[in-house]
A and B are shown apart, each in its own frame.
Chain A
Amino acid sequence: MTKSKSGGFFKELLQKKVFPLIILLIVEIVVFSLWASGIGSKFFAITTIRNILNNMVFAAFLTIGAGCLMLSGNMDLSASTIGAMAGVVCAWSVTHSVPWYFAMLIGIIVGILFGLLNAFIITKFRFPSFIATLGMSSVVRGLMYFASSIGKEDASAQNINFTNDIMYDIGNKKLFSEFTILLVIMLIIYIIFAILVARTKFGTKVKMLGGNPIAANLAGINSKGIITLLYVISGGMAGIAGTLFACKMQQGSLQALSTAQFTGLTGAILGGISFGGGEGGLGGAFVGMLILNTFTVGMSVCNVNSNLATIFNGLLLIIALALDFFRQARRNKV
């Protein structure tokens, strides 16, 4: 009885979209370990794991929002810009002697407000979310440059530097001697949302919306309400990521998070959240991001030429797609 059940579990795992990704991750770790020991450095070490995890903190925040939205068949291309805006506003507030907790709160609220604005134009005017958020990201970027130039004599757009000890601690202090506070915050929020998506009514509704929006509407799901909530989540997460990034760097940077968006999105797609929505979960997205970041860190540990690293980065995506193709082909045969 127990044996057949565990066999069933194993079979189920084989069928899961995440399975080939976990294999890929393991292969990656083995290859890098061998490669690194071949050239006399060490890959399989606690510092490497720390680097991998710390690298993905900001991308993970954006992935929470982006992943949920993609599950519902929507998209937010403005998240990274909204995050940068939140960071700039937070930094600006601190330099204008607003207390640090209030400044961070303002940053997060800015993120939520832009999320609401996104939700408003998408649900009210029925915009395609891809292009609406593409437009919004330009608008927000322009506003951000403007915000960063307020109060400067030459009115030029620049990064805003500040120093605040408490904020520095939030961004850089380590717990358990290795892992940063940021990482712990990220993991807690990520797990909460992963459970929310996988195990609650809300998550089911989101996936239904992505799988078949018309059927979901007929089934009495308040699609506008859910989409609004998802954009607010996305904006809020971007706001949190932006303010935390500002804490870490002690700077409201105009270029903040610009690569995190791409990593988050590709991680989510790599992790099995299909582009049209309705399928996948945040757990897979996390594995997807792990693969991407393990790869980046492994490349730097093994001292790979940057051109080759770029090529391999692309090939990695293709390999992941190919694995998915073979998995589906096998399932179709059965």
Chain B
Amino acid sequence: MQKKSNAFKRFASGTGFKLLIVLIILIIIAVLISSDVLKGGSPFGKGFFSSINLRSLLYKLVLPLFMLSGLGMLLISGNIDLSVAAQATLCNAFFAVMMRDTNLPWWVVFILGLVLAAVIGLLHSIMVLKLNFPAFIATIGMSSVYTGIAGWLLNLTNVNVSDKAFLSIAKTTLFDLIPLTTLVGVLIVFICQFVLSRTRFGRNCFATGGNKFASRLAGINTNRITTILFMVCSVITALGGLFYVSQTKKADPTAVTSSAPNMTALSAVMLGGVAFSGGTGGMVGPLIALLVMQVLDNVLTVIGVKPYWNTFAVGALLILALIMDYLAAEKRRKALLAAVQ
């Protein structure tokens, strides 16, 4: 019991809790404005809580959601991969072309796609660890390599996927509302959170991100951790990408990269309390941050403002969150100073 209340206290003082409050306020505002509640009707019929709107919100979530977990863990361990959107494009292209040109069952091709992603992750870790490339720029470079290969595979047109069993993945829903793909994504976030907070591997991730040299001296195999995290990041991303193919029924050479889900995911990760330099944070904060960003976007669309205010709001939200963070830190510092005096 004691332990439980401690865990709650820790959550309540963290970034995740603040974001959760913002999320709830956002949803309340959205419901008040967009549905018939104020006229005495039910909140579920139309507007934010209508099933069409919720479903579109959840489907839109898939790509950034899957990138979120991998990127978050990489960032915590002090690395970054900016090529995830291009990786997803490449795996999608590979999947669609294999489905068109071979007679393999869909799940074999699916697994091959994930293996391809794992190889990509391995390649990135070799670049960063053995060749000492800065991850930031090496992955930017590889990102255009993958985009180019995907464009070549697809011949720069959409390739349709028509396998019924594969397409049914995206159609499967819980309670006729929550797509299976989103559920899997959220589940992965929680698994990552569990690994980070409850296992030795997770602790070593934080140590690697906090101080690589000290961790190595302390006997942590930092190279192994970095390799695993790069591979995990790529595989989770590819999984999200393949689910996206299942949703859209085609592999598109530009759609994934042009909507920049990696930037959305990266913003959410940092908004959710993971420091850019690594070593701190968790996965629940980023998840809620992503929800806040997507709900805000959705709310503004439902209300019907001009679309450019969405862009404005996302940026303003980021800056607001940073200011709140600063004020909280300042308050703590003042309290500490007062206690000392």
Residue ranges of A at the interface with B (Cβ–Cβ < 8 Å): 121, 125-128, 130-132, 134-146, 149, 155-157, 266, 269-270, 274-275, 305-318, 321-322, 325, 328
Contacts and interface: CB of A to CB of B under 8 A. Distances in A.
B170 to A, nearest CB: 28
A309 B311 CA distance: 31
B142 A318 contact: yes
A145 B326 contact: no
A131 B281 CA distance: 16
A159 to B, nearest CB: 14
Interface in B322-340: 322-323, 326
A247 B316 CA distance: 30
Contacts, number: 146
B137 interface: yes
A138 B306 contact: no
B326 A313 contact: no
A144 B312 CA distance: 9
Given A128-B276, A269-B137, A328-B132, A138 B315 contact: yes
A308 B132 contact: no
Contacts of B319: 121, 127, 132, 135-136, 139
A325 B315 contact: no
A313 B267 CA distance: 26
A265 to B, nearest CB: 9
A321 B308 contact: no
Contact of A325 (B133, B275, B323): B133
Interface stretch (B58-66, B101-109, B147-155, B218-226): B147-155
A299 B201 CA distance: 46
A141 B134 contact: no
B115 interface: no
A325 B309 CA distance: 45
Contact of B323 (A125, A137, A144): A125
Nearest to B323: A125
Contact of B141 (A126, A308, A317): A317
13 contacts: A127-B326, A131-B271, A138-B318, A139-B319, A142-B313, A143-B312, A146-B308, A146-B309, A266-B137, A269-B134, A314-B143, A317-B137, A321-B127
Contact of A132 (B148, B312, B322): B322
Contact of A125 (B136, B151, B313, B326): B326
Given A157-B308, A307-B148, A309-B148, A321 B133 contact: yes
Contact of B140 (A132, A307, A310, A317): A317
Given A131-B276, A138-B318, A266-B140, A315 B145 contact: yes
A314 B137 contact: no
B326 A314 contact: no
A125 B148 contact: no
Interface in B37-83: none
A307 B326 contact: no
A251 B317 CA distance: 31
A313 B149 CA distance: 12
A181 to B, nearest CB: 32
Contact of A131 (B127, B270, B310): B270
Interface residues on B, range: 35 or more
Interface string B246-280: 00000000000000000100010011000111000
Nearest to B130: A325
A270 B137 CA distance: 9
Interface of B: 127, 131-134, 136-138, 140-149, 151-152, 156, 263, 267, 270-271, 275-277, 306, 308-319, 322-323, 326
Contact of B138 (A131, A145, A317): A317
Contacts of B315: 134-142
Given A138-B316, A310-B144, 11 more contacts: A132-B319, A135-B315, A135-B319, A142-B312, A142-B313, A307-B152, A311-B152, A313-B148, A321-B127, A325-B132, A328-B132
A138 B149 contact: no
A321 B141 contact: yes
Contact of A142 (B152, B275, B309, B326): B309
A121 B138 CA distance: 30
A316 B133 CA distance: 13
Nearest to A326: B131
A128 B276 CA distance: 8
A144 B311 CA distance: 10
Contacts of A128: 270, 275-277
Given A317-B138, A321-B131, A328-B132, A311 B148 contact: yes
A141 B311 contact: yes
Contacts of B271: 131
B318 A155 contact: no
Contact of A310 (B136, B147, B267, B309): B147
A155 B306 contact: yes
A139 B314 CA distance: 8
Nearest to A262: B140
A269 B135 CA distance: 12
A73 to B, nearest CB: 11
A71 B218 CA distance: 33
A156 B151 CA distance: 33
A275 B134 contact: yes
Contacts of B136: 269, 275
Nearest to B138: A321
A149 B311 CA distance: 15
B5 to A, nearest CB: 33
Given A131-B276, A321-B141, A125 B312 contact: no
Nearest to B269: A131
A118 to B, nearest CB: 10
Nearest to B317: A135
Nearest to A141: B311
Nearest to A319: B141
A310 B148 contact: yes
A39 B182 CA distance: 52
Contacts of A312: 148
Contacts of A266: 137, 140
A5 B263 CA distance: 50
B262 to A, nearest CB: 12
Nearest to B142: A314
